[in-house]
Amino acid sequence: AHAHALIRDPSDMSLAIWSPSGVVAKAPVLRKAAKRLGQMGFQVSVDESAARKHQRFAGTDAERLDALHRMCDVSPDIVLATRGGYGVTRLLPQIDWSRLASSVSRGTRWVGHSDLTALQLGLLATEGAVTWHGPMACGDFGADEVDDITAPCFVEAMTGELEAVGFRTEAGFDGLEGEGVLWGGNLSMICSLLGTPWFPHIEGGVLFVEDVNEHPYRVERCLLQLAQAGVLDRQAAVLLGEFSDWRKSPLDKGYGLKSMVQAVRAATRTPVLTGLPFGHVPTKVLLPVGAQVDLVSEGRDALLVWGHI
């Protein structure tokens, strides 16, 4: 983190929209996102292959890999994914990670979540470069209405103004202090990287996780996998975001997200905090994956601080 980094103006920043994963089903949504980001002040371009279609993907693997490397070489100020879905996993062995890292060192901010977790953690594992876990073009800026926290938070993060995120957590963590590398993202994607060269080996880090369409027992299973692999015990803290759009089962009999959190807390000595505002929900804060952060809590108020990046 640079304490006195220059705060940019959005009108001086180029923003390129690209498709690394799933197909963009509705072209008007992509057009609306580009227009809206332009109205927010950014100089917006849409990659030539962003709306391509191949099966469930935004183009063939080769086309999406080309788009990734094209973004690296063009190095706009911001590279924003259209959407997630599935597709980055197929590309991992072919990605030129040093090319991606050099775009970051030239100032490019790569932004996304969900399937983008594989790209962000792969880059952190191989090159130690920082990316931004945050919104995506279609789902967030192409929506009927843009969330009134997500949009200004995006602008602040991209211009270098954002230096912390605060949230309300459960009681019991008053006075907690920790520091380390911030990393994480979509829980299913994190677990899919275990045992591969693209899984970051972070000691004393702050791990954040979220997921969508996963019943709490599946979330618990993923988190216990990380605990049993020794990952959770090596962290300074684990932050849980939103686990949205799951359906209750008649078999639950009172089992739910609270039971899941209890089971995970019992499986690790690391503090597990709830309430981080991010996930597959309208309100998304932006989080610098790979940055050094401080985590402090007072009462139920927790603060994640990284300074200007």
Known active-site residue 54: no
Q: Is 161 helix (H, G, I), strand (E, B) or coil?
A: coil
- Bridge partners, 190 (sequence order): none
Among the options 133, 210, 214, 297, which is catalytic?
210
Which H or E element spans position 222?
helix 216-228
Known active-site residue 156: no
- For 144, other C-beta atoms within 10 Å of its C-beta total 6
Among the options 114, 188, 192, 297, which is catalytic?
114
Among the options 19, 103, 280, 297, which is catalytic?
280
Known active-site residue 280: yes
Q: CA nearest 169: which of 273, 17, 30, 308?
A: 273
- Angle (nearest 5°) at CA 278 between 119 and 193: 30
Task: Give the Cα separation of 194 and 271 in Å (integer).
Answer: 22
Q: Is 176 helix (H, G, I), strand (E, B) or coil?
A: coil
Beta strands 177-186 and 292-298, pairing class: antiparallel
Cβ distance 299 to 173 under 8 Å? no
Task: Give the Cα separation of 259 and 296 in Å (integer).
Answer: 25
239: tokens are 């932050």
What amino acid positions are annotated as catalytic residues?
Answer: 114, 210, 280
